[in-house]
C-alpha cells in the first residue's frame, strides 16, 4: 500500500480479511506488520495457544512513559444466515455509507489507528503513541489480557487508553461487566409416571433459571446505586439464551444444558455473583443426590469481564473530551476490552466512529461522516502528542 494511503483504503484492506472469531486472523496481522514496517514501525506478535491467531502491538515516538494507546480488536462476528445486499468482505460505498463486515465494529477505528501510527512516525512526538490490536473480543474479551500484560512489561507505560468501539465519537466512560457459565444438569431417567423416583434434569434446570428470574426482579426493584443509575437498565441482569435437553415427553430428562450470562453494573463484584450462583447450584445438587447419587449440576465458567468504572478526573476522559468537545455523560451496557486495561492500572475510555446499532447486523456500515469525524479526532490527538 502506498505511503499516502487514505484511511478508507486501509479500511477496505482490513475488511477484505474474513477474520470471524472462529477463524484465523493471521493474514490480517501479517498485512499490518508489513504495512507498519514499510513506514519504519516495528511491531510484535503475541500468538494464541492454538497458533492460529495473534495479537499485535507497536509503538512510535520517544521511549518514555505517558503515551496513548489506541486499542481495537481484529475479529468480527459471522455473516452466516444474514441477508447481505453487498459482499460483506468487500468495502462498498452506497449513499454516503461504507458497507462491509467489521466496517463499524471495529475495523473503521483500526484503520484510523494504523493511519495514526504512520502519521505519528513522521512527527516530533513529545509522548509516544502505542497500538494494540487483539483477537477474540467478540467471544468474551478474555484473550486480550495477554496483550495488555505483555505491553505493560515490554513498552513504556502509557497514561491513556482509547478503545475505539463505535460510540458516534462520544466519550463513553463506563460499561457493564460480564460473567457466563455453561450449565449441565444431570438427571436420572424413569418413566414419567414414577416421577418422584427419578430426577428430571429439565425441571431442576428450571429451578436454577427461576433463581435467575428472582434475582432480576430483586435487582429491578432495588434503588440503583450512583454508579448504576446512568445505565439502561440501571441494574445487573441475568439471562438464559439457549437451552436443550430431554429424550421424550414421558421420560424424566437425563440431561439439560443451558448458557447463562450476567451483565453486572460497576460497583458490584463478579465474584459475589459467581459465589451466589455456584451456591444455588450446589444446593440443588444436594437435593438431587438424595434421590439419585449420579445426578447433579456441572458448571463451566465462560467469559469473565470486569466492568469499566467511570474515573474521577481520569486523564483518558480529560483527553478524549478535549479532542471531541463532548462533555456528556455516557455509559453502555455492552462490554469491551477497555475494562481489561483499566483493572491493570490504565486510565481508559471508549470512543470511536460509528453507531453500535450497526454492529453484528447484515449490511453493517460506517458512514463517511463518521469516518471523517474519526480522522479529525486522530489529527487532534497527534497535535496533542506533539504539544
Residues tagged active-site: 75, 137
Nearest to 189 by CA among 297, 290, 294, 287: 294
> What number of residues does the chain have?
387
CA-based torsion, 42, 48, 52, 53: positive or negative: negative
Contact 164, 71 (CB under 8 A): yes
Residue 251, C-alpha cell as written in the block:
421420560
Contacts of 115 (CB under 8 A, 6+ apart): 5, 7, 10, 375, 378
Give the helix/strand (H/E) hosting 275: helix 270-291
User: CA 103, CA 246: separation in Å to the nearest integer?
Assistant: 42
User: CA 202, CA 223: separation in Å to the nearest integer?
Assistant: 34
Contacts within 8 Å (CB) and 24+ apart, 35-39: 35/1, 35/10, 35/114, 35/118, 36/114, 36/117, 36/118, 36/131, 38/1, 38/3, 39/3, 39/117, 39/118, 39/121
The full DSSP string for 104-121 is IIIIHHHHHHHHHHHHHT
User: CA 42, CA 107: separation in Å to the nearest integer?
Assistant: 21
User: CA 359, CA 105: separation in Å to the nearest integer?
Assistant: 5
User: CA 253, CA 187: separation in Å to the nearest integer?
Assistant: 6
- Separation in Å, CA 101 to CA 14, 74, 335: 10, 11, 20
User: Beta partners for 182?
Assistant: 259, 300
User: Beta partners for 98?
Assistant: 93, 366
Amino acid at each position: 500500500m502506498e505511503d499516502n494511503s487514505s484511511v478508507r483504503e486501509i479500511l477496505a484492506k482490513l475488511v477484505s480479511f474474513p477474520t470471524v472469531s472462529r477463524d484465523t486472523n493471521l493474514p490480517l496481522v501479517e498485512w499490518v506488520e508489513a504495512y507498519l514496517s514499510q513506514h519504519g514501525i516495528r511491531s510484535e506478535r503475541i500468538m494464541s495457544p492454538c497458533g492460529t491467531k495473534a495479537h499485535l502491538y507497536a509503538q512510535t515516538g520517544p521511549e518514555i512513559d505517558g503515551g496513548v494507546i489506541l486499542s481495537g480488536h481484529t475479529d468480527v462476528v459471522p455473516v452466516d444466515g444474514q441477508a447481505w445486499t453487498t459482499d460483506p468482505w468487500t468495502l462498498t460505498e452506497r449513499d454516503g455509507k461504507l458497507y462491509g463486515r467489521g466496517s463499524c465494529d471495529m475495523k473503521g477505528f483500526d484503520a484510523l489507528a494504523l493511519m495514526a501510527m504512520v502519521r505519528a512516525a513522521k512527527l516530533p512526538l513529545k509522548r509516544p503513541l502505542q497500538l494494540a490490536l487483539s483477537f477474540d473480543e467478540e467471544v468474551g474479551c478474555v484473550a486480550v489480557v495477554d496483550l495488555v500484560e505483555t505491553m505493560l512489561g515490554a513498552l513504556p507505560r502509557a497514561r491513556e487508553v482509547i478503545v475505539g468501539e463505535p460510540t458516534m465519537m462520544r466519550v463513553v466512560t463506563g460499561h457493564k461487566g460480564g460473567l457466563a457459565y455453561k450449565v449441565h444438569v444431570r438427571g436420572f431417567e424413569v418413566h414419567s409416571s414414577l416421577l418422584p423416583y427419578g430426577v428430571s434434569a429439565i425441571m431442576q434446570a428450571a429451578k436454577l433459571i427461576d433463581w435467575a428470574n428472582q434475582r432480576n426482579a430483586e435487582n429491578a426493584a432495588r434503588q440503583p446505586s450512583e454508579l448504576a443509575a446512568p445505565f439502561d437498565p440501571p441494574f445487573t441482569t441475568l439471562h438464559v439464551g439457549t437451552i436443550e435437553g430431554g429424550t421424550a415427553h414421558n421420560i424424566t430428562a437425563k440431561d439439560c444444558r443451558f448458557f447463562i450470562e450476567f451483565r453486572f453494573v460497576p460497583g458490584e463484584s463478579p465474584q459475589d455473583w459467581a459465589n451466589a450462583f455456584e451456591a444455588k447450584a450446589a444446593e440443588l445438587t444436594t437435593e438431587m443426590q438424595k434421590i439419585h447419587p449420579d445426578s447433579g449440576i456441572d458448571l463451566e465458567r465462560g467469559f469473565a469481564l470486569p466492568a469499566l468504572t467511570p474515573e474521577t478526573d481520569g486523564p483518558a476522559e480529560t483527553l478524549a473530551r478535549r479532542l471531541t468537545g463532548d462533555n456528556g455523560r455516557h455509559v453502555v451496557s455492552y462490554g469491551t476490552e477497555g475494562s481489561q486495561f483499566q483493572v491493570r492500572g490504565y486510565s481508559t475510555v471508549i470512543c470511536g466512529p460509528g453507531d453500535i446499532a450497526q454492529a453484528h447486523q447484515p449490511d453493517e456500515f460506517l458512514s463517511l461522516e463518521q469516518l471523517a469525524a474519526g480522522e479529525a479526532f486522530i489529527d487532534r490527538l497527534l497535535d496533542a502528542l506533539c504539544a
